[in-house]
Structure 1
Amino acid sequence: MASIVITGSASGIGASTAAMLRAAGYEVVGVDIAGAEVCADLSTPAGRAAAIDGALTRCGGRIDALVLCAGLGATHAPEKIASVNYFGVSELLDGFKDALEQGAMKSAVVVASVAATHGDWEGSPLREAFLAGDEEKARALCAASGHGAAAYAASKHAVVCDVRRRAAAWGARGVRLNAVAPGAVETPLLQQSIADPVVGKATAAFIPPLGRRAVPAEIAQVIGFLLSDAASYVHGSLLVVDGGIDALARPCRF
């Protein structure tokens, strides 16, 4: 039975993806801060190491696929957003790479956000801090930015950059790596944003061009596709699954 590790498995997109894959017969090892097979805090280096060690122990040192869903929304402390959304992904990609190479599916998917595609990040000190692996500096810059919305967008943009710049090395080892960029999805994360006094009103008012928000299962289906043989030549890509938000915001940039 194929083993798939999923972070953020206790709620939202991660929980929906875990349920879908278990129903399809896969062995799923969930990682979350609580309510998972492996409980770990991805906001700290020690927690990330515990997540990697715990999952690899359960899978016998070999995993077939990896889904990195864990993330914090814009209502959290900016510096913690930086640690979870970027370093909680990048360090796990490093930690699971060898185990993925030994697996059968050899596929990984990172859940980013359509927020990653918006804004001008060229030459941004924050992006450079993320991509240089300088967690202390990235946390400080995010903390100075004020509301978590800026940290959220920057962390999701940087994590897509990280995925894409790994494509050559991972592809050479036969492991596919892609990212998904959801838009508004009916999850606890979205409800937290709607309740936020700064961004809540705008979040609640905005409806994607398709006329509704997504449900987690719709994103899970796309993740399942990217993990499968049906996507065997899809690698280093960002797949936007947002009901038309990105097309509305920047129709001539793609």
Structure 2
Amino acid sequence: MRTTVVTGAASGIGRATADLLRSRGERVVGVDRHEAEVLADLSTTQGRAAMVAQVDELTGGHVDAVLAVAGTANKGTADVTVNVFGAVATLEGLRPLLAGSPSPRAAVTSSMSSLLPHDALLVELCLADDEPGAVARAEHLLATGQGRVIYGSTKRAIARWVRRAAPTAEWAGAGIPLNAVAPGIVETPMTADWISTPEKREKLRGQVPMPLHGFATPEVPARLLAWITSEENTHLCGQVVFVDGGADVVLRGDSTW
């Protein structure tokens, strides 16, 4: 039986993923601030260290997969501390626990928002592992009325981090596929206010065009996360897989070619 750690397991995509894996017979160690096996605040260095210690104790130091799903949206500096630094700390902190698995896997949740306007300096500060600097930059963006770009910037940063880390000796060299999924609009508590009225839904459709089936349920990215971190995935490495109903295609066309 595989043991998988899922952060953000109390709601949204994290909960859907945890439920799916449990239904398939896997042991899931859920991490969240409430209603989870491990209670931790991933926005702080202390919370991240406590999470690693608790997971280590609960699993006896053996984990087969790590899914860094926890995230916030439009929460100011929390988007920075959770979406980037909390996610990286989860993946790097739990990576040693994957060493004993015959098929270790890891994944993180990015977003199609990584394609939208972003703040280049915030992204670079995140990639430089400068958390105080990144938080200060986010505070500046909020103070100058540019807060709307923070979320997309954090998702761009974590996607780029995956691209950089995945082929290294610590990940690919150790036999650990590291990848990301990038959902479009998913109907979760995090997005509830964005789609609470027909007018808001229509406006969001204009910003995030999803011609294939429109907005998704959490089970959609959950199924992709489950496969990416399954034994079947042996060669996907450093990929950001968009599960967004076609938004990436509409917005970027054939630019990747």
User: Structure 2 length as normaliser, TM-score?
Assistant: 0.91
Alpha-carbon distance between aligned partners in 1 of 2:214 and 2:255, rounded to the nearest angstrom: 23
C-alpha displacement at 1:195, in angstroms? 5.6
Q: Does 1:154 align with 2:153?
A: yes
What's the counterpart of residue 181 of structure 1? 182
Q: Could you tell me which of 62, 83, 100 is aligned with 2:81?
A: 83
Q: Does 1:3 align with 2:6?
A: no
CA RMSD after TM alignment: 1.9
Question: What SS class does the counterpart of residue 230 from structure 1 fall into?
Answer: coil
C-alpha displacement at 1:207, in angstroms? 5.2
Q: Contact between 2:110 and 2:159, CA under 8 Å: does it hold in 1?
A: yes
| Bigger mean CA offset, 111-120 vs 29-38 | 111-120
Q: Could you tell me which of 92, 95, 99 is aligned with 1:94?
A: 92
Gaps of 5+ in 2: none
C-alpha displacement at 1:200, in angstroms? 7.7
1:98-150 per-residue CA deviation (whole Å, 9 max, x = no partner) reads: 111222321001011011133466xx221121011111110111111125431
Alpha-carbon distance between aligned partners in 1 of 2:9 and 2:111, rounded to the nearest angstrom: 17
Q: Could you tell me which of 221, 228, 231 is aligned with 1:229?
A: 231
What's the counterpart of residue 128 of structure 1? 124
| Bigger mean CA offset, 138-147 vs 149-158 | 138-147
Seen in structure 2, the aligned counterparts of structure 1 residues 67 and 202 have a Cα distance that, compared at 3 Å, is same
Q: Contact between 2:40 and 2:48, CA under 8 Å: does it hold in 1?
A: yes
1:139-190 per-residue CA deviation (whole Å, 9 max, x = no partner) reads: 1111111254311001010001111111122101111100000001111111
Alpha-carbon distance between aligned partners in 2 of 1:73 and 1:163, rounded to the nearest angstrom: 20
Seen in structure 2, the aligned counterparts of structure 1 residues 39 and 218 have a Cα distance that, compared at 3 Å, is same
Q: Contact between 1:7 and 1:67, CA under 8 Å: does it hold in 2?
A: yes
Amino acid at match of 2:161: D
Amino acid at match of 2:130: D
What's the counterpart of residue 53 of structure 1? 53
Amino acid at match of 1:151: I
C-alpha displacement at 1:201, in angstroms? 7.0
Seen in structure 2, the aligned counterparts of structure 1 residues 11 and 212 have a Cα distance that, compared at 3 Å, is same
Seen in structure 2, the aligned counterparts of structure 1 residues 69 and 120 have a Cα distance that, compared at 3 Å, is closer
1:66-92 per-residue CA deviation (whole Å, 9 max, x = no partner) reads: 111100012x1x211100110001111
Alpha-carbon distance between aligned partners in 1 of 2:109 and 2:253, rounded to the nearest angstrom: 23
Alpha-carbon distance between aligned partners in 2 of 1:204 and 1:114, rounded to the nearest angstrom: 13
**Identical pairs, percent:** 36
Q: Does 1:66 align with 2:62?
A: no
Amino acid at match of 2:244: D
What's the counterpart of residue 135 of structure 2? 139
Alpha-carbon distance between aligned partners in 2 of 1:125 and 1:148, rounded to the nearest angstrom: 14
Question: What SS class does the counterpart of residue 167 from structure 2 fall into?
Answer: helix
Alpha-carbon distance between aligned partners in 1 of 2:239 and 2:14, rounded to the nearest angstrom: 20
Q: Contact between 2:117 and 2:149, CA under 8 Å: does it hold in 1?
A: no
Alpha-carbon distance between aligned partners in 1 of 2:167 and 2:99, rounded to the nearest angstrom: 14
- 1:213-228 to structure 2, matched below 5 A, reads 213-228=215-230
Alpha-carbon distance between aligned partners in 2 of 1:6 and 1:120, rounded to the nearest angstrom: 27
Q: Does 1:247 align with 2:243?
A: no
Runs of at least 4 residues off by over 6 Å:
none
Q: Contact between 1:207 and 1:213, CA under 8 Å: does it hold in 2?
A: no
Amino acid at match of 2:48: R
Alpha-carbon distance between aligned partners in 2 of 1:253 and 1:15, rounded to the nearest angstrom: 34
Amino acid at match of 1:87: F
| Bigger mean CA offset, 233-242 vs 199-208 | 199-208
Gaps of 5+ in 1: none
Q: Contact between 2:118 and 2:153, CA under 8 Å: does it hold in 1?
A: no
Alpha-carbon distance between aligned partners in 2 of 1:161 and 1:37, rounded to the nearest angstrom: 30
